[in-house]
Chain A
Amino acid sequence: MNRVIEVRGLRYRYPDGTQALDGIDFHLDAGECVALFGSNGSGKTTFVLHLNGLLEGEGSVEVCGLPVRRGALDQIRAKVGLVFQDSDEQLFMPTVLEDVAFGPANLGLDPAAAAGRALKMLEQVGMAGAIHKAPYHLSAGEKRRVAIAGVLAMQPEILVFDEPTTFLDPPGQRELAKLLAGLPQAKLLVTHDVEFARALASRAVFFDHGKVAGEGTVDEIIRRFDWVPRFRESESPDRR
């Protein structure tokens, strides 16, 4: 299997002294979909920000054989598409079409080619009818689709989603899962949503205090770390 991400001994400390990552080893193969689980503040988002060079820690991060370092960021960012948790942060251009064309234009495509590619991606995510709309007029589900189109338009080899189901209603979550299942790229899902991860991921990694605490199938990790929401006492493992 062709390895597209290889991380060894990654450490990162925030300027306030918080040790966010403490020796992470991780890999992702081509076509694979992996879920990242872990408590809030366990380092998941910090970790994925290293994958396209938005943060720079100690250790080694390689994307498609390229070390992630300052001189290679253009190539790295063309290979790793990052879909942020809050779509509002990702949609900053005046219209949907311009926003999706932003990435291809940065890759050096001329305006017509960038717009053409953007339109194709918007058709793929079912948002071609919104090309002239302002992004802030869209619903949460529509914004998420446009954000994904913006990343797909850069034709990355790896897709990283940070809490993709946040703000989405159940039908929106189902549609998103269907959309992602049809994408051939390697995928990394940072999520608390176990059902979403079950539907898409073949492997899961559990983060705890900046370390990888466990790795296995999604169900193995859910059982091992008791990673399911329970809201009634009768659902507690002790009572069953």
Chain B
Amino acid sequence: MHHVVVERWSRGASPLHARDARVKLGALVALLIAISTTPDRSQFAFAAYAAVVAAAMAASRLPLAGLVRRGALVLPFSATFALITWWSGEPTRALALAEKSFLSGLSALLLVATTPLTQLLAGLETLGAPRILILVVQFLYRYLFVISEQAQHMRLAAQSRHSAGAAQRRRFTASAGAIGVLFARSWERADGIYRAMLARGFSGRFAPSVRPHLHAADVVFLAAALVVCAGIRLAA
């Protein structure tokens, strides 16, 4: 499960993990703005952004292949649009579209993979993000585990009662029904979890597990990220 792996990664130890969530968010926003506003023809700039992301990946001490594979999850979507653009006679734009989406996806993944969700959301909250948005993200993330766990249980139960020769059509019908049951069961489980949270004093706000505190290294990191992103963008 991708989210379980990323959750584990986010609790690692590296210079990038040690940075405050807010400065990483700031650096990500700067990089995304720079990437998205870079002219399509500027392949040098995209190579420079890729070098920046690669350096950050190396600093994160996370498995590079795993990061690239998960970052590439955006490619099927962007590649579809890139192909359409290519066929319409704009190959430079098509290539830039794929590059922009891949680099942006990989950068966002790097942030999530080096920052525990509680710290990331606490950082967002101190930066003024709406509380309701943060609450929704937190519940979505929690319930992702719930749904995947329910799905695994149901898959095992279905496998234990499927014969190897079961007709494909029959399997498809069973799977379609199972999706409905999965959501009903997940809803029940989510209700139980919410009840357990209330029983332990939850009042609509997750308390941060660490109190955010900026260090000199965080400021230097953010300043360096801003300078590099601005430099590449202006040179493009």
Question: Which A residues lie at the B interface, using CB under 8 A?
Answer: 49, 52, 54, 74, 77-78, 81-82, 84, 86, 88-90, 92, 94-95, 98, 101-103, 105-107, 110-112, 114-115, 132, 134, 136, 150-151, 154
Contact = CB atoms under 8 A, between A and B. Distances in A.
Given A77-B199, A98-B118, A151-B200, A111 B142 contact: no
Interface of B: 4, 7-8, 11, 116-118, 142, 145, 149, 189, 192-193, 195-203, 207-211
Contact of B196 (A84, A94, A107, A111): A84
Residue of B145, B196, B208 with highest tally of chain A CB at under 10 A = B196
Contacts of A88: 149, 189
Contact of A74 (B8, B117, B189, B201): B201
What does DSSP make chain B's interface, helix, strand, loop or mixed? helix
Contact of A106 (B11, B142, B196, B201): B201
A103 B201 contact: yes
Given A94-B117, A103-B201, 14 more contacts: A54-B195, A54-B199, A81-B199, A82-B199, A89-B189, A89-B195, A90-B193, A92-B196, A102-B200, A105-B207, A106-B200, A106-B202, A110-B211, A150-B200
A136 B203 CA distance: 24
What does DSSP make chain A's interface, helix, strand, loop or mixed? helix
Nearest to B141: A94
Contacts of B196: 82, 84, 89-90, 92
B201 A78 contact: yes
B206 to A, nearest CB: 8
20 contacts: A74-B203, A84-B199, A88-B149, A89-B192, A89-B195, A90-B193, A92-B196, A94-B11, A94-B117, A98-B209, A102-B200, A102-B202, A103-B200, A105-B207, A105-B209, A106-B207, A111-B207, A111-B209, A112-B211, A134-B4
B198 A134 contact: no
Contacts of A74: 201, 203
B199 A115 contact: no
Given A89-B189, A95-B11, A115-B209, A52 B149 contact: no
Contact of A101 (B149, B199, B209, B211): B209
Given A89-B189, A98-B118, A154 B207 contact: no
Nearest to B143: A92
Contact of B198 (A54, A101, A114): A54
A86 B209 CA distance: 25
A132 B202 CA distance: 22
Nearest to B139: A92
Contacts of B192: 84, 86, 89
A154 B202 CA distance: 12
Contacts of B208: 111
Given A92-B142, A94-B116, A134-B7, A111 B210 contact: yes
B212 to A, nearest CB: 10
A114 B207 contact: yes
A105 B192 CA distance: 20
